[in-house]
Chains A and B, each alone.
Chain A
């Protein structure tokens, strides 16, 4: 996985086990 991919918001939200709604 490229560094660019890892910096994606989508990437982070998918990886996070908590609800993305809480993060938004």
Chain B
């Protein structure tokens, strides 16, 4: 495994290099803000980000060494968590707002026109505020995102031969990224006790992000069922795959 021969510092450098570019909506949200207009903008953006996410995953050291089936499975399980963590990272400097893209920054009120969205919006704002309090560093952020990817599903494909090897690789990749996170935290100049506390606080936020992602999937599924917004291609495929895994 390539990640096994990299030092934590080298691994973080590679993960930072893998970061996707900023994604722009490239057009104004239609006014007035209606449920359909906002959802159309959010799903357009998600579609673009998903394509970048695949490139990102392929650049994370070790990912392409997994079986293709496991690569597919991991991404299908974690895509909304990865999108949401990216959203939180971008929104850290915009208290009370969510920066979906540099040209789409929404306040709670603007998001409230979408039925059922306020609850998710508030949870996203709360998690973002927590990252703000913790003064999340970029090195820590990229490690958390890679951890989400490799930790997205324990139940990978069959447990025989090549597939078993792939699952063992996922566990080793998780260990490598965890070591990288520990290294990133150690740079902050905290005491041993404070470093352990910070590590725990950061990792505990991942369970909130998983919860948020599940809420978001349910919400998007509901929007699809109500025909509020048409979903196409990759986003539709990722939503359907998540619903299938969930069921």
**If A1-B68, A5-B69, A15-B68 touch, does A10 touch B51 (CB 8 Å cutoff)?**
no
**If A8-B237, A9-B233, A10-B234 touch, does A24 touch B72 (CB 8 Å cutoff)?**
no
CB B161 to nearest CB in A, in angstroms, measures 14
Q: How many residues belonging to B are interface residues under a CB distance threshold of 8 Å?
A: 17
Q: Considering the chains assembled together, what is the distance between the CA atoms of A1 and B127 in angstroms?
A: 38
Q: Is A24 touching B51 in the complex (CB atoms < 8 A)?
A: yes
Q: Considering the chains assembled together, what is the distance between the CA atoms of A21 and B48 in angstroms?
A: 9
Q: Considering the chains assembled together, what is the distance between the CA atoms of A1 and B234 in angstroms?
A: 19
Q: Is B51 touching A21 in the complex (CB atoms < 8 A)?
A: yes
Chain A residues with CB under 8 Å of B241's CB are 8, 10
Q: Considering the chains assembled together, what is the distance between the CA atoms of A15 and B75 in angstroms?
A: 14
Interface centre among A1, A8, A10, A21, by most chain B C-beta atoms within 10 angstroms, is A10
Q: Is A19 touching B234 in the complex (CB atoms < 8 A)?
A: no
**If A1-B69, A21-B51, A24-B51 touch, does A10 touch B76 (CB 8 Å cutoff)?**
yes
What residue of chain A has the Cβ atom nearest to residue B57's Cβ?
A14
What residue of chain B has the Cβ atom nearest to residue A13's Cβ?
B54
Q: Is B68 touching A10 in the complex (CB atoms < 8 A)?
A: no
Selected contact of B51 from candidates A1, A15, A20, CB within 8 Å: A20
Chain B residues with CB under 8 Å of A19's CB are 55
Q: Is A14 touching B51 in the complex (CB atoms < 8 A)?
A: no
Q: Does B221 count as interface, using CB distance less than 8 angstroms?
A: no
Q: Is A10 touching B69 in the complex (CB atoms < 8 A)?
A: no
| Per-position 1/0 for B56-69, Cβ under 8 A of A | 00100000000011
Q: Is B72 touching A14 in the complex (CB atoms < 8 A)?
A: yes
Chain B residues with CB under 8 Å of A15's CB are 68
Chain B residues with CB under 8 Å of A13's CB are 51, 54, 234
Q: Considering the chains assembled together, what is the distance between the CA atoms of A24 and B235 in angstroms?
A: 12
Q: Considering the chains assembled together, what is the distance between the CA atoms of A17 and B27 in angstroms?
A: 31
Q: Is B55 touching A20 in the complex (CB atoms < 8 A)?
A: yes
Selected contact of B72 from candidates A8, A20, A21, CB within 8 Å: A8
Q: Is A11 touching B68 in the complex (CB atoms < 8 A)?
A: yes
| Per-position 1/0 for B30-74, Cβ under 8 A of A | 000000000000000000100110110010000000001101100
Which residues in A have some Cβ–Cβ distance to B below 8 Å? 1, 5, 8-11, 13-15, 19-21, 24
Which residues in B have some Cβ–Cβ distance to A below 8 Å? 48, 51-52, 54-55, 58, 68-69, 71-72, 75-76, 233-234, 237-238, 241
